[in-house]
Each structure stands twice: as structure tokens, then as C-alpha cells.
Structure 1
Amino acid sequence: MIEKAGGLTKKADLQAINRSQLLKDQDKIYVPAKGDEPPAASATSSASSQATSSSAFSASSSASSASSASGELININTASASDLQKLNGIGEKKAEQIIAYRQEKGGFKSIDELKEVSGIGDKTFAAIKDQLTI
């Protein structure tokens, strides 16, 4: 799929990306140049627009989502534990439970399915549902 997105430049650091990550339409992936620092998770979307000039391809994947503070949605199927913890009421333990659930079930089919994770009830879900995507 990398070739379909225009391929990589000679500077691209392929070791810095997860090539097995599942992507959805309109996602963006930032591929840093060799020796570059990868962007912070919350900077992924803004950094991805620089990917073409920096080193790589601008295919698709807002990797795990960005911070809810910037108004962007958190993808519960790809978010890291630290991204999930940016949500109100989600601490380290609940973030780990969310990740364990999605690995066990093969991902969430809808954001409502998040309520099936132990410790996430209607109240918690109602507080965060507007910040979520799949």
C-alpha cells in the first residue's frame, strides 16, 4: 500500500512506523526521515501534512488520534494507553482494559461497544462519547 500512496523517499525511516497498523479512509501516517524524531502522538495530524516534504508519503493514518484538547477525536481502535488517558474518567487501568478488550475482540465495531469494557458505564461513556471515533 505504501507504493499506492506514492512510495518512500531515500530518506524515509521505515523502522519508525508500524506497517501492520490497520488504517481507515482519510487516515494519515507520518514517516520520519532517518535520524528525525517522530512527532508526539498529539502532533500526529499536523506533522502528517509535513510528511511529504520531510521524507515519505502522505497516505493515511492519524495514527492513534490526537489529543481531545485540540478538538480531534480519539480512535478507540488504534489509540495508545496514553491517548486514551486524555479522556475524562479514563485512567491507566481503564485504558489498559480498553486495549485488552479491543485485542480480544478484534477491535470495536461502534463506540457504543466501549460500554462493554469493565468499569465503563453509561455515565463515563456519556462524558467521553463526543471525543471518540472508530
Structure 2
Amino acid sequence: MPMFKKSMLVLLAVVALAAGGAFYAGARGQDDAVELDAGAAPVREMSVKESEIVVYVAGAVNHPGVVRLAEGARAKDAVDACGGFLPTADTNGVNLAQKLKDGVQVTVPEKAPVAAEGRAAQGAPTASGAARSLPDGMVNINTADEKELDKLPGIGPAMAKRIIEYRTENGAFQSPEEIKRVKGIGDAKYEKMKDKIVL
């Protein structure tokens, strides 16, 4: 075979190989493009999740726990997502119109226990409006005024004011030990007065 024909055959083979490679690369490129489009779906899904918030609902609701809500949801939406209030819930204890942020906790308090009928809590007003008498030297830390609180061991006028301020801001003491939450009343002071205080 003449040299010219051999060169032509080699050249044609090289051109055919190059064309085949280009076609194969083009086909692969289309496949890659399809995969890339398919991979874009999770990004759209993630943007939907970014518009949600997660909050924890505790207290007097039917199913307390963590719930997912739409961004901009209110406390009422969180309570509804947990099955609504329990019959014992203090519905005035939570602002249902409050706009929620991601990661917050909504706590629904329970109503304060009511004294049994015909019995008033010690030192609390009775049905007639008069306070039940206490043993000598005893002080009801939920109802006492500054003058009465001042009689407790280790409590002066300034500390008596603090006790009343705490009571005003946080509600009635739920246990005698809770008085230790008042600034300036530690274990030592509590030990001196614990036998003199009642609720």
C-alpha cells in the first residue's frame, strides 16, 4: 500500500476517534446537567424549612413538647399545636398574642390552688373578710405588711420592703423556703425565721 494511503487511513482514524470522544463528552455533559437540576430540589426544600420556627411548649397544655410552626406564629398557635389548654390552665398567665421566635419556650401556668370550701388558708382572709388569727409570733409572709415582716428575726425595714416587692412581682410564695429567693435572705437568715413563718 502506498505511503500516502497509509497516512490518509491513520488521519481518518484519528479524526473518527476525536469525533467520537467529543460526542461522548457532550452526552456526559447532558447527564451531568440533569443531575445538577435534580440536586437543586433539596435547596428549594431547605428554603421552606428556613421559614419555620421550633418552640417548646410546657405547662398546662394537653400535649406539651416541641412543635414546628410557621415563621411569625403567635403563642396561641403554639398552644393550639399542643392540643389546647388543660382545664387547670391559667389562661391569663400567658400572652397569646406574643409573636414567637425560633428556640423560645412558652410556659402555660396552672391556676393557683383554691382552699377547700369552708376552710381558709392559715392567715388568709375568710369569707367574712377577716383574716384568720395566727399563733403568737407567727407571720404569714404572703399577707403580712412591712411592720409585721419587720418582727421576723433578721428582717429589718429594708428587707421587709424587698419581701413585699418580690411578692408583688412574682405572686404569692408557694413554700416558706421560697423566701430565700429574696435578695439578702440566705440559708442562715432563713434558719432563724423558718419557725416563725407560715403561708
TM-score by length of 1: 0.52
TM-superposed CA distance for 1:114, in Å, is 0.3
Matches within 5 A, 1:7-26: 24-25=120-121
Residues 2-30 of structure 1 deviation map (CA, whole Å, 9 limit, x = unaligned): xxxxxxxxxxxxxxxxxxxxx83355769
C-alpha contact 1:74 1:133 (8 A) present in aligned 2: yes
Runs of 4+ aligned residues of structure 1 deviating over 6 Å after TM superposition are none
- 2:132 maps to 62
Deviations 1:73-113 (A, max 9, x none): 21000001000000111000100000000111111000100
Q: Higher relative CO (CA 8 A, sep ≥ 6), structure 1 or 2?
A: 1
Instruction: Rate the CA distance shift 1:60–1:125 in 2: closer, same or farther, 3 A.
Output: same
- Whether 1:122 aligns to 2:187 is yes
Q: 2:156 is aligned with what amino acid?
A: G
Q: Which has the larger radius of gyration?
A: 2
Q: Find 1:87's aligned residue among 117, 141, 152.
A: 152
For the 8 Å contact 1:27–1:60, the answer to whether it is kept is no
Give the distance between the partners of 2:131 and 2:153, measured in 1 at CA. Answer: 24
The partner residue of 1:110 within 175, 180, 193 is 175
Taking the aligned partners of 1:28 and 1:117, their CA distance within structure 2 comes to 22
Q: Flag structure 2 segments of 5+ consecutive residues without an equivalent.
A: 1-114
CA RMSD of aligned residues (A): 2.9
**Long gaps (5+) in structure 1:** 1-22, 31-56
| Map of 2:66 onto structure 1 | none
Q: Normalising by the residue count of structure 2, what TM-score does the alignment of the two structures yield?
A: 0.36
Residue 142 (structure 2) aligns with:
77
Q: Which residue of 1 aligns with 2:198?
A: 133
Deviation of the 1:130 alpha carbon: 0.3
CA distance in 1, matches of 2:194, 2:125: 25
CA contact (8 A) 2:124 2:143 kept: no
Structure number with the higher helix fraction is: 2
Higher normalized strand content (fraction of residues): 2
